[in-house]
Amino acid sequence: MKKIILSIDGMTCSACSNGLEKYLNKQNGIINASVNLVLANAFIEYDEKILNQEKLERFVQEAGFKSLGEFKEIKSNSNNKKQKILFIAFTFLAIIVMYISMGHMLNLPTLKIINPYSNPINYCIVLLIFTIAFIAYGFDIIKNGYKNLIHKSPNMDTLVAIGVISSFLYSLYSMYMIIKGTHHEIHNLYFESAAIVIYFIKLGRYIDKISKDKTKEAIQKLVEITPKNAVVKVNGIEKTVTLDEIHKGDIIVCKPGEKIAVDGQIVLGKTHIDESLITGESKPALKTVGQKVIAGSVNYDGYIEYTAEKIGKESRISEIVRLVVEASNTKAPIAKLADTVSGYFVPAVIIIAILTFIIYLILGFDFATSIITFVTVLVVACPCSLGLATPLAIVISEGLCAKNGILVKKSEILENAQKVNTIIFDKTGTLTYGKLKISDVINYTNLDNDKIIQLVASLENKSTHPIAKAFTDYLKENKLELLPVNNFENISGYGIIGNIDNNELLLGNSKLLDKYEIENIHLEDETDLTSKRKQYYICCKKQRNNCFNWCE
C-alpha cells in the first residue's frame, strides 16, 4: 500500500470534493481516498501493484477536475491582488445594473436614453452588455457546472449554471419580442437576475477564500520554521546555499542565533539549542559532538558544524507538516454526515426545480412566472453552507493547533475532545511560562537588589547563554539601565568576566570560583538552595482568598 497527496484544481464547493471523493473510492486499486476542499488536495491510499500516480491523475481528470501533481507545499495565491481588484470592479458594476433595472421602480432619477418605458430597446441592449460581462466573469462557474453535469456529478455550480443560462436565454427571447414591438415583454427581462446571481456566488467564494487563506497561513508557518538558506563548508570554504542545494553528508555551519537548516549530527563544537518546537522543553539543551540536531531549532550560544542526515521530506519538521495535512484530510463523523447530505442535495434540488416548473405550468401560471420559480429554486438552494462550514471549521482548528505546537492525528479526535473530563500534564513549560525568570535574589553585599541585578544583567547582556535573557528581561521590567561593560570574556562551562566602572566582575558557577582560587564562603547555602524543594501557592479561581501551600 502506498500513500500520495495530489493537488486538485477546479473544486469550488463541497459537492465538488464529495463527488471527486466518491468517484476515486469506486476505482479498482484505490483503498481509501479523502478529498480536502479547503487545502484543495486529495489524500489517496492505493495499491502500487495496480496503480501509479499517472493513473490516479487520470481518474481525477475523468471526474471533471485537474491534478496539479503531488502536493508539496501550501502556496499563497499570487493572483490575490488581481482578484480583489476585479471583485471590487464588478461590485460597482452590480450596483449600476441594479440601479438601471430597478431605479425606475423606486422613482429614482434615471437617464431617459435607457429608460425601460421611453427607450425599451436601449434599456435591453445596456442590460445585455452588462450581463455578458458578468457571464464572462463567472464563466468558470458555468463551465464547471455543465462539466460536472456531463460527468454525472452535478454540484452547486450546476445549479447556478442552469439557473443563470435559463434566465439569460428567456431574457434574450423577451428582448427579441421587444424589438419586434411587443413592449410589455419589458417586464419579462431577467438579465439583471443572471448578473446578480453570479455576483453573489462570487461574493460568497471571495469570503470563503479569505477564511481558507487564513487556515493555510497557520499551516504555512510550520514550513517557515526552517531557514531558507544555510552555510555549507566545502574544502574549508564556506558557501551560502538554499535548502534544495543541500545533500546528505554535507558539512553545515551554524553560528549563534541561527536556525538549524536540516536534521543532522554535530561533528565540531558545542552549544545550547532550543528544541521546544519539537520537544516542548523550554530549557535549551546542551549539544556536543556526536549528538543530533533538528531542523528549525535555534542555536543559542555556540559555533557548531554538523553533517546533513535528513533533508527535504525526510526531515522531522517536514514529517510534522505531512501529518498535519493528512490529519486535515481525515473526516470527522459530523463531516462525513455533512458530505453525505450535500452529495444527495444537488440532484434532489434539480428534480425539485423541474417539478416546480411543471406544477406552476399545470396550475395555470404563465411561462415567465414558472421559469423564474424554476431559477429561484436552483439558485437559492446552496449546499455549500452545509458542506463547507463543517470541514472549514475542522481545518481551521487543526491549523491553529499546529501553530501552537499541538498535532492532531485524526479529525475525529477534535470531535471526541468534548468528552474529555480529566487532563494530566507531564511536560515542562506546559503549565509554566516556558522561559527562565528570576524568582528570588539572595544578597550578601551592601548593595541593594536592583543594583546587583543591574550589574549582573549588564554582564549577561553581552552573553548568548540561555539564562542571560532572564536577567535582561528583569532589567526591562523594572526599567533599569544597562551599564557599559569592557574587556568582556566568555569562559565556556564556567561563566563570564567583564569590567564595569573599573571593577572586574566574575559571574558564574562554583567552578569559576575554583578556577580563580576564590574561596566560596557560601557553599553551604548554595548546596541548600539547589536541593531545596520549590514552594507553590495554588488559588481557587472562584475563591481567590482561599489559597494553600503545595510543595513539589
- Which CATH number is correct for 449-551, 3.40.50.2300, 3.40.50.410, 3.40.1110.10, 3.40.50.11540? 3.40.1110.10
The residues near 91 (Cβ < 8 Å, ≥ 6 apart) are 199
The CATH number given to 229-314 is 2.70.150.10
When pLDDT is averaged across residues 527-534 and rounded to a whole number, the result is: 62
**Active site includes 426?**
yes
Note the pLDDT tens digit of each residue in 12-30: 666 677 778 888 888 889 9
Please say whether the structural domain 2-70 has been given the CATH code 3.30.70.100.
yes
Question: pLDDT band at residue 358, thresholds of 50, 70 and 90?
Answer: very high
Pinpoint the alpha helices (H) of 110-155.
120-137, 139-150
Number of Cβ within a 10 Å radius of residue 219? 21
Query: Taking the alpha carbons of 404, 406, 411, 415 in that order, is the dihedral positive or negative?
Result: negative
Burial class (CB in 10 A: 0-12, 13-18, 19+), 38: buried
Domain ranges across the chain: 2-70, 81-221+323-398, 229-314, 449-551
E-state strands within 200-262: 229-234, 237-242, 251-254
Catalytic residue, candidates 157, 426, 450, 525: 426
pLDDT at 126 (0 to 100): 92
Assign 254 to helix, strand or coil: strand
Note the pLDDT tens digit of each residue in 531-544: 654 433 333 333 33
Note the pLDDT tens digit of each residue in 386-414: 555 666 677 677 667 766 767 676 667 77
Question: pLDDT band at residue 305, thresholds of 50, 70 and 90?
Answer: very high
